[in-house]
Amino acid sequence: MKKIIFVILAFTASASFAQSELDELTFDDTQNSEVFQKIRNNTRVVRYTAADGTVLQVGDTLILGYPTGSTTSTTGIGAGDKVGVGVARSQTQNNYAMIFYGRQGGMSTVLNATTPGEGAENVGANMQEEIVIIAEMKVFHKGSAKKPLAVNVLLGEPNGRAFGIYKYLSILDYEKAAIAGEIRSLYAPLTREAAIAKLKEAKELLDLGLMSESDYEKMKQELGPIIMNK
């Protein structure tokens, strides 16, 4: 009897672990109701293919892009003995709308990605162009289990140190942050616009005699399909 109970418990633990981690997940999966309704909140993801084709894995390097948010703080200055003559001074600072200090995530923070949750602090503009490493990826439903998934990415320092007093940074919704330009990958596929700019630069180098005809033709063959959307 004890042996049977042990086998049942072992099977339950194994099944529970299987539910807590996915080896592969794509953006299409996160939007497909037949798939995402079977995935629980807080499920870890080892490898994620984003909407633009970028493949993200734990340990990969990302770069913080341009901050798209801002925070305005107002300070009141007393009026002394005079009543009603107080002055309020406001100061606006740029920050990241989708990236926060610390381990943030869950349904509430994903739903209110542009509004920091309790205790959550937006990463400041001083972190722009910082190199970070993916420490963990998890998914959360954007509401009930019948809603699509958002990919929450935990970021760490490349050298294993902390970001000041915080060990990690959190991207609440990777796709939104990527579209906004707040985060980018070194391995992101070249866009049509970037391919055109790269080929134009190569043509200028060719005209200046700083690139060989063969190198230019090789680049043209590589970039041509991207530019022509083939």
pLDDT of residue 180: 92
Phi, psi (degrees; rounded to nearest 5) at 210: -100, 0
Indicate the helix (H) or strand (E) that contains 156: strand 149-156
Nearest to 156 by CA among 172, 175, 136: 136
DSSP state of 227: H
Q: Within 82-171, where are the H helices?
A: 107-111
Q: Are strands 121-124 and 87-101 parallel, antiparallel or unpaired?
A: antiparallel
Residue type (1 letter), 179: I
Q: What integer pLDDT is reported at residue 18 of this predicted model?
A: 42
Determine the pLDDT at residue 70: 80
Cα 39 to Cα 193: distance, rounded to the nearest angstrom: 36
CB atoms inside a 10 Å sphere around CB 212: 11
**pLDDT for 145:** 87
Alpha-carbon distance values, 126 to 70, 106, 172, 180, 219 (Å): 13, 26, 19, 18, 36
Contacts of residue 118, defined as CB under 8 A and 6 or more positions apart, other chains included, come to: none
One pLDDT digit (tens) per residue for the chain, 230 residues? 444 444 344 434 334 334 589 999 999 999 999 999 999 999 999 999 999 889 999 999 999 999 998 876 566 665 555 555 555 666 678 999 999 999 987 655 555 544 544 557 999 999 999 999 999 999 999 988 899 999 999 999 998 888 988 999 999 999 999 999 999 988 777 777 878 888 899 899 989 998 899 998 988 888 888 788 76
Dihedral pair phi/psi, residue 11, rounded to 5°: -65, -40
Q: What is residue 80's predicted lDDT score, i.e. its pLDDT?
A: 53
Helix 192-207 vs helix 213-227: crossing angle, to nearest 10: 160
